[in-house]
Amino acid sequence: MPKPTFFRLADEKRSRLIKAAYDEFTRAPFAEASISNIIKDAGIPRGSFYQYFDDKADVYFYLLNRMKTSATMQIKQAMDVHDGDLFAAMRSLFAGMAKALIEGPYAKFYRNIFMYMDFHAASKMSTPPPPHPHGNGEIMDFLVDRTDMTKLRVSSEEDLRTLIHQLMGLFMQTIGYYYNRQSAGAVVDEAALLRRLNQLLDWLEFGAGQPR
């Protein structure tokens, strides 16, 4: 995580450094990204960079943690809006996230994360390794606490946690499908991605088999 000196920077300088880091990790996957490019774009000396971060992995994980904080806020808002209805909240949440991943300002940065799974490479360079960016204990606990279980066919907290894992895995797999199709030259627009997401959510919520 950033050193205390980073948070004491003037807002403009801190924002410039964050933007330079996003731009560099958008331009190239983690292994090919360069501190030299970050400090050049940010307009700071190399020595100043190391007053704010330990290394390239440190600033990379800081960006990932910013993403996690944003996602956590969106999840909490969706659950509040839908009054604990897990599937309704996930539908609206996934729609917003899909839009951000495809056409949002950080879309190419997200693509590098998914396509290269850069956090694995970054963790090898960190001593000690930082928390895994997909660590979701706080999110999981919130969802378990906030979900209205009367709307679900689950009988225990353990079952609910399993269901939530399935929902999150469904979203990650669908985004992986989108990037892989894109890399193969196929056109998958936002509408097509949402149709796939909603179909999978329907199968998980209502079942895929015909009634007997």
pLDDT of 141 over the 90 cut: yes
pLDDT at res. 148? 96
pLDDT at residue 181 in the model: 87
62-71, 72-81, 115-124, 168-177: least confidently modelled range: 115-124
Question: Average pLDDT, stretch 94-103?
Answer: 87
Contact between 6 and 52 under an 8 Å Cβ cutoff? The reply is yes
Query: 125-129, 139-143, 144-148, 149-153: which has the minimum mean pLDDT?
Result: 125-129
Residue 111 has pLDDT above 50, yes or no: yes
Mean pLDDT of 160-179: 91
Pick the CATH number of 4-206 from 1.10.357.10, 1.10.8.80, 3.40.50.410, 2.30.40.10: 1.10.357.10
pLDDT tens by residue, 20-43 = 999 999 999 898 999 999 999 999
Residue by residue, DSSP assigns 124-192 as HTSSSPPPPTT--HHHHHHHHHH--GGGSS--SHHHHHHHHHHHHHHHHHHHHHHHHHHHTT----HHH
d(CA 107, CA 100): 6
Per-residue pLDDT, 123: 59
Span 58-68, average pLDDT? 91
Domain boundaries, the chain: 4-206
Determine the distance from the C-alpha atom of residue 211 to the mean position of all C-alpha atoms in its chain, rounded to a whole number. Answer: 37
- Position 211 pLDDT exceeds 80: no
Residue 201 CB coordination number (10 Å): 18
